[in-house]
Structure 1
Amino acid sequence: MDEIELDSFSGNTVADVRRHLLRRYPDWEIFFERRLLCSLNYKLVSLEESVFPNDEIAFFPMVTGG
């Protein structure tokens, strides 16, 4: 799944989006257990960042390389 639209979401923060997704897709808990980076409209943010209609949020694992 590449993209999900949350038409009836009533939260205020990225953390609220995360909680909503875990309620909707409980199997994703194993993914969200890890430390993830969050991006809001292509900018790295904390879970406390406010969200608004039409914002784009992405969760992805930390990446390392050498």
Structure 2
Amino acid sequence: MSAQDRFDAKSDQVTGKIKETAGDATDNEQWQAEGRGEQVKGGLKDAAADVKDAAGKAADAVKDAFKK
């Protein structure tokens, strides 16, 4: 996955944490929930990037095995 995709995932996580913290400070349940949601979204994007990277490495390993 591209560096931009990883940046976007981390950005969602950080934005979510900020929003959740602001919600905690102001007792705003909506901000708290939105913040937690954005953190989960960022985590899922990051996990998807890990899976995509692993799949690419596995495909490369299979290609290399058949070249021999």
TM (norm. structure 1) is 0.27
Structure 1 or 2: more strand by fraction:
1
Structure 1 or 2: more helix by fraction:
2
Structure 1 or 2, whichever has the larger Rg, is: 2
TM (norm. structure 2) is 0.26
